[in-house]
Structure 1
Amino acid sequence: MIIGYICKYTPVKLLESMSIECVRIEPSYIDNGITEAHMHPNVCTYVKGVLTEVFKGGYDGIILVNCCDSVRRLYDVLKNAENGKMIYMLDLPRKSGDQSVAMYASEIKKLIQTFTDFYGKKFNVQDFIRYISTEQENAGQFNMPKGNDGIRLAIMGARCNSSLIDLLKKAGADEVLNYTCTGDLLNFMPLPDFSAGEQDIIEWYAGSLIRSIPCMRMADIDRRRDMLKDIMANVNGIVYHTIKFCEFYSYEYSYIKDNCRFPILKIETDFTQGSEGQLITRIGAFVESLKGSNNKVERPSHGTRKTIVAGIDSGSLSTDVVILDEDYNILSYSIVPTGASIVDSANKAFSQSLKRAGITPQDVSFIVSTGYGRINIPFANKQVTEITCHGKGAYFLNSNIRTIIDIGGQDSKVIRLDEDGNVVDFVMNDRCSAGTGRFLEVMAKALEIPLERMGEEAQKATEDINITSICTVFAESEVISLIAQNKKRADIIKGLHNSVASKTIGLLDRLGRKGAYMMTGGVAKNRGVVEAIEQRIGDKVHIPAEPQLVGALGAAILALQEIKVKHVK
C-alpha cells in the first residue's frame, strides 16, 4: 500500500509503523490538460503539479493538510475524482500549546480510524514504540561545525523537490541542509514511558510534529528566527526558495536579507523543468562567490614562452571567444551566431579565434566556458557562470564599476561588485523574455527593421508612446495595433526602448542603485536603450567597445587564474 502526502506535519512515522509505505509527492511537471479541466488557472503551480502526479496513478490514498486555500481546493477535486481511494484532509492547529497538541492528537486518531475502516489497518502501540525508538537515533538537526574546505548550504523557505537539492550539489555545494517544508529535521521530544497508553503515545507524537521547526503558516514563528543563528554558524550560505505566485515566504526572506549580514540567495520555482537553466546559473554564481572564485589574480610567469588561455561564452544568440596571453593581452576574439548546435557554434568561434591569433589548439593551456551552453562545450577545462565572468570582465575593463547591467538574448541581469571586483549580489529576470534581446528581436521583425538599426531609428521620434505590455507576446500585439493606428515607426521603437529600460530599472532597484555603471550584452549596442536607462538613473552608463565579449573576457581571465593556482601548487 502506497500513501502519498505533501506536508511535514503528516504523521508519517506512525503510519509506517502500521506497515504503510508513505511517499512524499514531488511533482516535476504540470499537465495543463488535467489542471485546466479541474482547477481555476490561478491555483498555485505546486498544487497543479500534485494533481498531475496523483492523476498519473500509483497511490492507494492521499493525505493532505489544510495549509492553504489551494490545498483545500485540491482536496475537493481529488475527493470527487478519485473514487475508491482514501482522500483525507488533516486539520492542523496553527499554534503549538498543549491544547493544540491535544487537538492534533485527536486528528491523528481520526486518521488511524479511517485507515482501519478503509483498509483494515490497525494501530499497535508497541509496534510504534519499537519503530520510533530506532528512528530517534538518526533524528535531530545537523550540527557539524563548518570546516575550512567544502561549501555547506541551508535551503529555507517553501517546500522543494529532491531534484533541487541535487541541483545545489551539482552546482558545487558539498552538503545541503533542508529546512523547508520537505525537510526531515524533526526533533523528537523524550519518549514517554513504555507503559504509556495509546493516547499518551499519540499526544507525544503530535507534540513532536507541532513543535518541530514551525511552518511559516503557523501562528508563532519566533523559533524560526531563533534558529537562524545556529543555521548561520553551521553553513556558508542560505538558499531561500519560494514558489511562483506564492509570496508567503518572501516576508521571511526580506527579514533575513535586511537583518542578517549573511550570504543569501532567493530562488523561485514553479515545479516544472523549464526553469532549470536559470536556476543552475543563479545557484552556480552564488556558490562561486562563496568559494571566493573572484579573488584577484597575480599574473603568472612561465619562462620565455607565454601562457595562452581562452574564454568561451555560449549564449542564446551568439557564441563569443576571447584568447588572452599571460600579460592579459587580447590576442584575438570572435563572435558567431549560436545556431541549432551549441557544440558546432563553439567549435566555429574557437577555430576563428585561433586562426586570427595564428595559433593552434595545442597552444591554449586552459579554457573556461560560460553562458547557458557552458556545460556542453566538450573541449572546455572548467565551467563558470556568466554572472561571475561578467563581473570579472567588467572589473578588468574598468575597476570603478560597481553595477553591471547585462541584457542578453535570453535574460537580463544586474550584478553588484565590491571595490575588489567581487560579485556580492545579483538579480535576474525570470523565464519571461520581456526586456531582453529576444524581446527587441521580435519587435524588429514586426516593425520590419534590422535589429541593429533600431537605436538609430529611435532618434527620429517626435511622440512619446507608452508600451504598456511587458510580455513579449502581448507587446507584439500592442505594436501591431499601433501600426494600425498609423503611428510612426520611430515613435513605436522609442516606446519599446523605454519599456526595456523600465524593466531593467525594476531589476536594478531590487539591488539598489550604485555607480559607476557598465552595460554588457548585445543590447548595449542599442543606443536608444542605453539612453533610456541613463535618463532614468540620472547617471552615465559605460559601454565597452565590444559589450558582447565581456563574459568571454571574464572567462579567459578566470582561466589565467586557474593556471596561476596550478602553477603555485
Structure 2
Amino acid sequence: MIGYICKYTPVEIIEAFGEKPVRLDPGYKSHQRAEALIHSNMCSFAKGVLENIIENNIEEVVLTACCDSIKRLYDVLKDKVKFIHLLDLPRKKDPLAIDLFYNEIIEFIEAYQAFKNKSFDEESLLKILESKSFNKEESAESIAILGARLKDDVIEKIRNSCTANVINFTCTGEERVFNIEAKDNLLKSYAESLLNLTPCMRMAEDRSKLINKELKGIIYNTIKFCDFYSYEYAELKSRADIPLLKIETDYNDSNSGQILTRIDAFLESTGIKKMEKQKAKKGYFVGVDSGSTSTNVVIIDENKNIISYSIIPTGPKALESAFEAFEIALNSAGLQKKDITSIVATGYGRVSIPFADRIVTEITCHGKGAFFIDNAIRTVIDIGGQDSKVIRLDDNGNVIDFVMNDKCSAGTGRFLEVMARTLGVSIEEMAKVHKEVKENITITSMCTVFAESEIISLIAQNKDQRDIIHALNKAVASKAVSLVDRIGREGKYMMTGGVAKNQGVVYAIESRLGEKLIIPFEPQIIGALGAALISLEGK
C-alpha cells in the first residue's frame, strides 16, 4: 500500500507496479501524534495527513510539491517511512511543463523500481488507462464543489441531499478518466493527460471555464489560514453570477452541524434540496426548533393562526427537551398528538427528533417566519445562544443569501451570559439600555475568553458597571452589523432569537444601522413558526 494526496500523482503507474494506491484522508479529530513531529501551527491538512500515516503505519508515500506545507511534510517523513518520493509539480501545462512533468514521472518510476526491486511494465499501464477511458456525462442541472478537498462522507451527504448533479472540482475530487492517443511515447502522453485534468487552484491556469450558466450554485471550501483558497473565493464572488456558498474547515470539523446546516440551507435556497412534496391538509401543524440554548415549539391551524407555543431551555439532552416542549404546547392548545397533521423540525438538533415528519434548516425557517410576521422584511438578524446569522430575503420571502458566525460564541447569547456572570449581574440587567454613560468604553476582543479577561481588568480599575454593560452591548452589535455588511444592507430589518429581548443590544444595532429593528412579539419562536408554516404548506 502506498499513500498519496494529490490528483496529479501517477496513481495508474503505481497500479501498474501491482501496488495499491490509497488516497490519504486528513480528517482526524486529534493531531496529538502529528504535533509531536510537526509544529502545531502547521496547516491542518498536512497535520491530518501525517496523523493518518502514523495511525495506519503507512510505509510508502508519494507527495507533490504543491505548497510549502507539503514540502515540510516531506522533510518530516524522510526518516519516518521506508519509501517517500516528492514530485515537483509544474504550475502550467504548456509543452515545457509537460516535458518537466514527464521527467518527474520517469524519476519516480526509477526510484520505485529500485525500492521494489521489480521492473515497470508499460503494457500494464496501457491496460489500466484503457479501462479508464474518457466518458463524460453532461447534466443540465448541476452544482459544483470547488476549493479545498472535502471529506468523502460530506460529498456523499451533498449528493444525497440535492436533486442536482454534483460535480466535484476540489483538490482530488475529479474522477480519473483519460484519453491517451500517442502510443509511441505512452509516459509522455500520460504526463500530459495528468496535467490536463481540471486545473488545481495552485496551477497558473484560468479556472473560469469551471463556472457556466448551467450551474445552479457553487459550494466553495476553504481551509483555515490558507490564503490561496481565500483569494480564489474572493475572485469568484466578484464575478460569479450564480449562488455561491463559502464554508471554512480545518478538517477536524468538516462534518460538523454548523457546516451541514450551511450546506442544507444553501441547497434549500437554490431550490435543489430533496424534500418530500406534501399536500396541505386541514388540521394542526407543528414547528419544533431544537436550538443550542432553547427548544421552541409552535402549533398553528390550517388558517395560519398561532394556537400555542412553548419555550424551554434545551438542557443536556436535546431529545428530552423536544418532547417536553411539544407536550407543553399540546397541553396549552388542548390538543393531543393524534390531532397533529404534520411536524417539521429545525435547529441544530433537528436530525435527532424522531417524531418529526420532515427537517428543514433554521436559515429557511427563520426567513419564513419573519416574512410571515411582516412581508416588508428583507433582512433578518438572528442572534441565538451559540451562533449569529443574517438572512437576506427577496420580495417573495425566499432566502437568497445568508452569512453565519459559528464555531465561536463571540456576539451571541452565550457571550452575554458569560459576561453577566463575570459582572455578577442578571441577564435582565444586561438587557437594559444605558444611553447615558460616564465613559465610552470599547471592548477590544470579541473572543469570549479574552473579553472576559478584559472585563475582569475593567472591574479591577473600578469602572462603572453600566459603562461596561454598554460596551458589551456595543460589541455584540458591532459583530451583528459586520455580518449584515457582508451581504449588504437592505431594510426592512427584523431581529429574532433570544438576544432580541436585550434592549441594550437592539438599541446599539439600531444606532449602527441607522434604522429601527422590527422585534416580533416573541422573537425566540420565529424559527419554530417558520417550520410550522412549512409543515402547513407542504413545500
TM tier, smaller: over 0.9
SS of residue paired to 2:456: helix
* Residues 1:298 and 1:243: Cα distance change in structure 2 (over 3 Å): closer
Q: Matched residues in 1 for 2:137 and 2:222: separation? A: 22
**Residue 148 (structure 2) aligns with:** 158
What is the alpha-carbon distance in structure 2 between the residues aligned to residue 174 and residue 519 of structure 1? 33
1:527 aligns with 2:503: yes
Question: Is the partner of 2:219 in helix, strand or coil?
Answer: strand
Classify 1:362/1:468 alpha carbon distance in 2 versus 1 (closer, same or farther; 3 Å).
same
Determine the structure 1 residue equivalent to 2:201: 216
Query: TM-score if structure 2 supplies the norm length?
Result: 0.95
TM-fit CA distance, 1:227: 3.2
Equivalent in the alignment of 1:205: 190
Mapped partners of 2:223, 2:253: distance in 1: 14
Which of 259, 270, 290 is equivalent to 2:270?
Answer: 290
From 433, 438, 462, the equivalent of 1:486 is 462
Q: Residue 3 of structure 2 aligns to a residue in which SS?
A: strand
What is the SS of the residue equivalent to 1:416? strand
- CA positional deviation for 1:52: 1.0
Judge conservation of contact 1:388–1:423 (CA < 8 Å) in 2.
yes
Match of 1:540 in 2: 516
8 A Cα contact 1:189 1:204, kept in partner: no
Structure 1 pair 144/294, CA: closer, same or farther in 2 (3 Å)?
closer
Distance 1:227 1:154 in 2: 8
Matches of residues 2-13 of structure 1 in structure 2 within 5 Å? 2-13=1-12
- 1:131 maps to which residue? 128
The 10-residue stretch of structure 1 (487-496 or 373-382) with the greater mean CA deviation from structure 2: 487-496
Number of residue pairs matched by the alignment: 538
Task: Return the alpha-carbon distance in structure 1 between the equivalents of residues 365 and 298 of structure 2.
Answer: 12
The corresponding residue for 2:182 is 192
Contact 1:275–1:431, Cα closer than 8 Å, also in 2: no
- Maintained 8 Å contact 1:30/1:48: no
Kindly report which structure 2 residues correspond to 1:450-465, keeping only aligned pairs within 5 A, or say none: 450-456=426-432, 458-459=434-435, 461-465=437-441
How far does residue 9 in structure 1 lie from its aligned partner after superposition?
Answer: 0.7
Question: What is the alpha-carbon distance in structure 2 between the residues aligned to residue 511 and residue 307 of structure 1?
Answer: 39
Letter in 2 for 1:101: I
Alpha-carbon separation, structure 2, partners of 1:489 and 1:381: 48
Give the partner amino acid of 2:364. T
Q: Which digits, 9 at most, give the CA deviation of each residue in 1:328-373, with x for residues without a partner?
A: 1111101001011111101111111111111111111011010000
In structure 2, C-alpha distance between the alignment counterparts of 1:385 and 1:30, rounded to whole Å: 25
Counterpart residue number, 1:121: 118
Distance 1:382 1:57 in 2: 40
**Alignment partner of 1:182 is 2:162:** no
Which residue of 508, 526, 532 maps to 1:556?
Answer: 532
Assess if the C-alpha contact under 8 Å between 1:4 and 1:23 holds in 2: yes
| TM value normalised by structure 1 | 0.90
SS in 2 for 1:322: strand
Give the 3 Å change call, closer, same or farther, for CA 39–338 of structure 1 in structure 2.
Answer: same
Q: Distance in 2 between matches of 1:331 and 1:470?
A: 40
2-side partners of 1:316 and 1:436: how far apart?
A: 11
* Contact preservation (8 Å) 2:295, 2:325: yes
RMSD: 2.1
Match of 1:87 among 84, 87, 104: 84
Match of 1:143 in 2: 138
1:149 equivalent in structure 2:
none
Secondary structure in 2 aligned to 1:409? coil
Q: Hey, what's the Cα distance between the residues in 1 that align with 2:483 and 2:38?
A: 32
Q: Does the aligned pair in 2 maintain the 1:294–1:422 contact within 8 Å?
A: no
- 8 Å contact 2:162–2:273 — kept in the other structure? no
Q: Secondary structure at the match of 1:550?
A: helix
1:402–1:418 Cα contact (<8 Å) kept: yes
1:237 is the counterpart of 2:217: yes
Distance 2:272 2:45 in 1: 35
Q: In 1, are the aligned partners of 2:385 and 2:412 still within 8 Å (CA)?
A: yes
Quick check: 2:366–2:526 contact (8 Å CA) kept in 1? yes
Residue 107 of structure 2 is aligned with which of 91, 106, 110?
A: 110
Distance 1:351 1:379 in 2: 12
Aligned to 2:391: 415
Q: What is the CA-CA distance between 1:173 and the residue it aligns to? A: 4.9
| TM-aligned CA deviation for residue 520 of structure 1 | 0.5
Cα distance, 1:253 vs structure 2: 2.5
Task: Tell me: CA distance 1:160–1:299, structure 2 relative to 1, closer, same or farther (3 Å).
Answer: closer
**What is the CA distance between 1:60 and its match in structure 2?**
2.5
More off after superposition, 41-50 vs 31-40: 31-40
Aligned-pair distance for 1:460? 6.0
